[in-house]
């Protein structure tokens, strides 16, 4: 990794106040992972192993990952991989549901609640 000597770390305030999650999807992803682990689907140690690998993969494409979207993109990939590996779901069904959401957003008038149809999974 290249050392950028003039790089300023994204240091925030020194007091205890901070925005815990920068985006709603970060907090949602965090809570889903914690709950799924605590209900016995995988241990936290197992998740951390997937997460570490996923961060390393991301580093092949981009050096110096930030602790924000980069970090949670890797977290997301790790959760997808552990879900597939534990056979909780597979990539095909995740892709189908994602498409359902895309179609729902594109067909729902602005301002209306976006819902997807129930699908037998």
Site string for other proteins, 79-108 (x = CB under 8 A): xx--x----xx---xxx-xx-xxx--xxxx
Would you say 85 or 101 has its CB closer to other proteins? 101
How many Å apart are CA 115 and CA 110, to the nearest integer?
13
Distance of alpha carbon 67 from alpha carbon 56, whole angstroms:
14
Q: How many angstroms separate the CA atoms of 98 and 101, rounded?
A: 5
**With binding defined as CB under 8 A, does residue 2 bind other proteins?**
no
Kindly tell me which residue out of 16, 60, 87, 92 binds other proteins, with binding defined by CB under 8 A: 16
Site for other proteins in 29-48 (CB under 8 A): 29-32, 34-36, 38-39, 41, 44-45, 48
CA distances from 80 to 35, 57, 110 (A): 15, 14, 30
Closest approach of Cβ 44 to other proteins, in Å?
A: 6
């Amino acid at each position: 990794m290249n050392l950028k000597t003039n790089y300023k770390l994204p240091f925030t305030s020194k007091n205890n106040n901070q925005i815990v999650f920068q985006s709603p999807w970060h907090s949602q992803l965090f809570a889903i992972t914690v709950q799924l682990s605590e209900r016995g689907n995988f241990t936290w140690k197992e998740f951390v192993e997937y997460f570490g690998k996923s961060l390393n993969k991301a580093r092949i494409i981009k050096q110096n990952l930030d602790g924000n979207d980069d970090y949670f993109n890797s977290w997301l990939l790790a959760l997808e991989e552990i879900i597939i590996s534990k056979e909780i779901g597979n990539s095909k069904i995740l892709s189908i549901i994602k498409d359902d959401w895309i179609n729902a957003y594109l067909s729902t008038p602005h301002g209306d609640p976006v819902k997807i149809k129930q699908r037998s999974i």
